[in-house]
Amino acid sequence: MAVIEFDHVSKGYRLGASRTSLRETVPHLASKLFSRNGAHADNQIFWALDDVSFNVEQGEVLGIIGHNGAGKSTILKLLSKVTYPDSGNIKTKGRMAALIELGAGFHPDLSGRENVYLNGSILGLKRHEIDAQFDNIVEFAGLEKFIDTPIKRYSSGMYVRLAFAVAAHVRADILLVDEVLSVGDMAFQQKSLAKMNELRDSGATIIFISHNMWSVSRFCRRTFLLNKGHIEAEGNPDEIIEIYRRKEREDLLNKTRSAEIGTEPDNQTNGETAITQVELLDKYRQPKNQFDSQEGLFICAHYVAPDPIESPRFLIRIRRADGLICYNLSNKNGPEFTQRQIHGVGTFQVYVDPLQLVPDIYSVDVFIADAEKPLVYASRSGEIFHINGNVSSNDTAGIFEPHSEWIPERNCL
């Protein structure tokens, strides 16, 4: 039985039409009077959702992924009736709770105890329901010692833990979740995921939005990819995540290829130390941004140092597309560079052979720092390269792809 029916729903926002008071409206009308294109600007419509249809069955966990601005949060706002569609119909059955804006309605001068009751009532709980869940909420948040302290004295971590604890203990048939599993430290995130699994296993219907593909893969039973207000793909979470990540990386790689290859260093730095260009080269020193795992990579950085730097430290960092740091390389063990002064125009480079990275997209960050004190003179980020192969949808698939050889059982001791 479908508990959510999204039937040909569209939602548009008129760009530039956010005037809500006379004070804002009068200057706007004057601007339109004396501007040739002022009227045209108000006629631009951004369609956050365009003719979107889907159903969610009772007890199903649906994941929604996509870039920022794809329309994910608009779906949750429509379902929770924060806003309404311009066309189409939305039907829901059962009590609904939204874990979207954690801590909405918290008052800094009230204690944690008072805010539990305040926030619980905003989320639709009756007082007797809050009474029944109060001890569980406080225990889950781990704030027994601080529950009667004004929350303005809470750390940001304590604040979101309490907010999530309240929201997660709402008894609801339909739960809307937007990125809340990324709150708190790692231990609390694991605890939050376990709580969400408990709600899922109890039969709650859940719509889950996240940029954390690991959580989507493990938590959801079905996923769809939203792109520019349309459902682009739908099905098994791992398959949809792979489509999303492959498309994301291809777009990023195409932008990098057109922007980076063939550029020349710009030595106009307004008198400050700067890294003017970073080149990614293959073993033949040819510009390249697609490599095999067992290939080598030259990273060559051009710099300008208007003032002498007596003890430079060159640092190069390679990060995976999801932000995970794979390499931190430094010249501290390179005798040729150690304690060498730099001044004027120059270069430094490192050769990594083989890369041994799993198929994915990687970015390069380059720094000139001081070897004697915590000071960074210049940095540059954004250069990107691709390791060929199929990108895994599993974020725990590993980082490196070393050469390996499996030994037959008969040869094992």
Of 189, 220, 248, the domain-final residue: 248
Pairing of strands 274-281, 297-309: antiparallel
| pTM for this model (two decimals) | 0.64
- B/e letters for 248-284, b = 16+ CB within 10 Å, e = fewer, are ebeeebeebeeebeeeebeeeeeeebbbbbbbbbeee
Q: What percentage of the chain has pLDDT greater than the value 70?
A: 80
Residue 165 above 90 pLDDT? no
Question: 127-141 vs 156-168: helix axis angle to the nearest 10?
Answer: 140
Cβ neighbours of residue 365 closer than 8 Å, sequence gap 6 or more: 316, 317, 318, 319, 379, 380, 381
Q: What average pLDDT does the chain have?
A: 82
Mean pLDDT of 170-174: 82
Same-domain check for residues 114 and 171: yes
Q: Is residue 318 part of a domain?
A: yes
Mean pLDDT of 260-281: 72
Per-residue model confidence (pLDDT) at position 374: 83
Same-domain check for residues 103 and 231: yes
Compute the distance between CA of residue 367 and CA of residue 291 in angstroms, rounded to an integer: 23
Per-residue model confidence (pLDDT) at position 189: 74
CA 326 to chain centre: 18
Residue 224 above 60 pLDDT? yes
Per-residue model confidence (pLDDT) at position 178: 81
Per-residue model confidence (pLDDT) at position 262: 45
Same-domain check for residues 300 and 219: no
CATH number at residue 171: 3.40.50.300
CATH number at residue 338: 2.70.50.60
Same-domain check for residues 238 and 281: no
Helices (H) and strands (E) in the chain, counts: 9, 17
- Tokens representing 313 are 């430290």
Per-residue model confidence (pLDDT) at position 39: 46
Same-domain check for residues 230 and 296: no
Contact 112, 148 (CB under 8 A): yes
Residue 94 above 50 pLDDT? yes
pLDDT digits (tens, 9 = 90+) for 247-258: 777 676 566 555
Compute the distance between CA of residue 292 and CA of residue 295 in angstroms, rounded to an integer: 5
Same-domain check for residues 310 and 223: no
Per-residue model confidence (pLDDT) at position 353: 92
pLDDT digits (tens, 9 = 90+) for 367-396: 999 888 888 999 998 788 888 887 665 555
Of 99 and 159, the structure prediction assigns the larger pLDDT to 159
Residue range(s) defining the domain that contains residue 354: 267-387
